[in-house]
Amino acid sequence: MAEKKITLSNKDGSFGGYLASPSSGEGPGILVIQEIFGVNEFVREICDTHAAKGRFALAPDLFWRIEPGVDITDKSEEHWQKAFSLMQAFNVDTGMEDIQTGMTYLRSLAGCTGKVGAVGYCLGGQLAYLSATRTDSDASVGYYGVYIQDLLDEAAKITKPLMLHIAEKDQFVPPEAQAKIMDGLKGNPHVTLHSYPEMEHAFARTGGQHYDKACAELANTRSETFFRQHLG
């Protein structure tokens, strides 16, 4: 498995990304969408895991317009405050353009099959949902995405497979928001919803305060099966 930092470019400028490539040099692509902590160790590990499973995995630096190269953790109050300030300053619309730039890059790689999906966590979970409405992603997975309930007017644009993992005790996605998401998406044949009782936000973040090994492994297994079905 090869790992490297790359540079991506679009109409707004150039920004960095972390790319992990499969040892075979062939496979589909996966766009790994960061949490509010930037392209940190957790995100890079997800890329590495997908590469080990035979995919080109790219995590673009979505905070580059605010502060390039953010790499912080959930282990200190200072980092939490910085993460929330970054999220508040983040522009979703330009972020989605950067995600599409990353997908286009993946499809251009020698060895890429041309199939490209997306997976995101927290803020990235929201952006994974939007990847199903605004990009050419072939299959998208979102973990405990925030504010999706405010974006349901885009649900009719979902024409490719989307899977969402919902934490029922998510402090950032209260029960009424979860109900709106369920109700707004339940009629779409392209959408698969999974709920995890008693789980808090970020239950799949290894090393995090609310990490739950059993539910994380269940969600990850469901995601892996989903990607194998739709990306090959």
Distance in angstroms (rounded) separating the CA atoms of residues 113 and 134: 21
Closest CA to 74 of 118, 47, 120, 43: 43
Catalytic residue chosen out of the listed positions 98, 138, 170, 212: 170
**Residue 44: C-alpha distances to residues 33, 47, 89 (Å):** 10, 5, 23
Q: Out of 50, 61, 74, 201, which one is annotated catalytic?
A: 201
Residue 170 annotated in active site: yes
201 counts as catalytic:
yes
Q: In what order do the strands lie in the sheet with 2-10?
A: 2-10, 13-21, 56-60, 27-33, 112-121, 140-143, 162-167, 191-196
Annotated catalytic residues are 170, 201
